[in-house]
Amino acid sequence: MNKIKAGIVGGTGYTGIELLRILTQHPRVNLVCITSRSEVGQPVSNTYPSLRGVVDLNFSDPGSEELKRCDVVFSATPNGVAMQHAREFLAAGVKLIDLAADFRIKNVEIWEQWYGMKHACPELIEQAVYGFPEMHRDKIRGASLVANPGCYPTAVQLGFLPLIESGVVDVTSLIADAKSGVSGAGRTAALGTSFSEIGESFKAYNVSGHRHLPEIRQGLEWANGAPVELVFTPHLLPLVRGIHATLYATLTTKELDLQNMFERRYADEPFVDVMPAGSHPDTASVKGTNTCRISVHRPQGGDKVVVLAVEDNLVKGASGQAVQNMNLMFDLEETAGLTQVALVP
């Protein structure tokens, strides 16, 4: 059985190393090329000793022609990079999965406003499929260009989706209170994410507007079929991995079995775990996995619903979801390479 030839652009960041960890365990993938401008020619295992004896490759230049001989390329680069090369990959018949935000937002003007740059290939935005399997599985199967969702948007959308699809909440007053581990800020050293600055501390950031807000709103509006109003407040947690989203909405009808609603919506989803009534999922339970764990609550039986959603921001929130999308694009078992058990403690 032929293996899929995969390449990674930007192999030295956290999403890049997570892709390496997952793809080396994938039964149907042959990893053939990993690029890095700063580490060209250096063995991958020099940068990541965890991959000694597992990845026997050197970092290549991002301009390597070997990438165009791949079946699929993952772009694990900062925002604004994938769009510079998307045309040539697609012209060469290579499927492209972008882990950054270049193709997530369909309105080009909104994208340029939030990301502060001119889009290099706006004609490809409509072609791109938003890689959120729980909503767009069939479209992903036929895609050549996939925009992998952001980490916060994955947890928030999964938490709100059953409520919005069922039309049982006031979509003008949604609140997402979300917290992320520091790895979500990337691997580049910065004062604000240094250990001495974040250890034993906790804070909100970008309260006036986070770049993931228009992406989350777009996804919820697709589910609703009409505009929604959302307050999204991100926070930085003093831990490495994990996202915890606490979501609030006001019910418009009282005769509901919310637990049953969530269980039915995600009954066939391999990477969404609806926990028993009264549960409080924690980030440790999903560390290193592609699972999003969800619980739903109705405090004091009133008209408010509180949804708790946890995920590993580097796996279901990034690289694991990218591999899930690849599996769909190549008609593989959706769970292939993604059955790791959480690391506890």
CATH number, domain containing residue 79: 3.40.50.720
The answer as to whether 45 is a domain residue is yes
> What is the structure's pLDDT at 272?
98
**What is the per-residue pLDDT for 194?**
80
pLDDT of 142:
96
Q: In this structure, is residue 142 part of a structural domain? A: no
Task: Determine, yes or no, domain membership for 330.
Answer: no
Angular region, 106: left φ>0, alpha ψ -120 to 50, beta rest: alpha
Q: Dmax over Cα atoms in the chain, in whole Å?
A: 63
Identified catalytic residue from 70, 121, 151, 292? 151
pLDDT at 258: 98
pLDDT mean values, one per 10 residues, the chain (345 residues): 93 91 96 91 91 92 91 96 96 98 97 97 97 98 98 98 98 97 79 81 93 98 98 95 98 95 98 98 97 98 97 98 98 97 89
Helix ranges restricted to H, 92-166: 108-115, 133-141, 151-165
Same domain, residue pair 216 and 304: yes
Same-domain pairing of 101 and 182 = no
Q: Does any domain span residue 321?
A: no
Q: Please check whether residue 345 lies inside any domain of the structure.
A: no
Q: Are 107 and 157 part of one and the same domain?
A: no
Question: Are 102 and 156 part of one and the same domain?
Answer: no
**Structural domains in the chain (count):** 2
> Would residue 344 count as lying in a domain?
no
DSSP class of residue 184 equals: G
pTM (two decimals): 0.96
- Mapped onto helix, strand or coil, the DSSP state of residue 235 is strand
| Shared-domain flag, residues 37 and 184 | no
Give the three-class secondary structure for 204: strand
Asked if residue 291 belongs to a domain, the reply is yes
Q: What's the CATH number where 162 sits? A: 3.30.360.10
* Residue pointed to by tokens 């769909």: 328
Kindly state whether residues 111 and 169 are assigned to the same domain.
Answer: no
329 dihedral zone (left: phi>0; alpha: psi -120 to 50; beta): alpha
Long-range contact pairs involving 257-262 (C-beta distance under 8 Å, separation at least 24): 258/296, 258/298, 258/305, 259/296, 261/162, 261/163, 261/166, 261/168, 261/296, 262/162, 262/294, 262/296
172 shares a domain with 243 = yes
Is the domain of 170 the same as that of 123? no
Residue 1 pLDDT: 72
Domain identity same for 119 and 160: no
Query: Could you confirm whether 151 is annotated as catalytic?
Result: yes
Whether 181 and 120 map to the same domain: the answer is no
Report CA Rg, the chain. 20
Co-location of 101 and 241 in the same domain: no
Task: Please report, for the chain, how many H helices and E strands are present, in that order.
Answer: 10, 13
Domain that holds residue 108: 4-127
Q: CA-based angle 291:324:69, to the nearest 5?
A: 150
Looking at the domain assignment, is residue 83 inside a domain?
yes
Q: Does 163 share its domain with 300?
A: yes
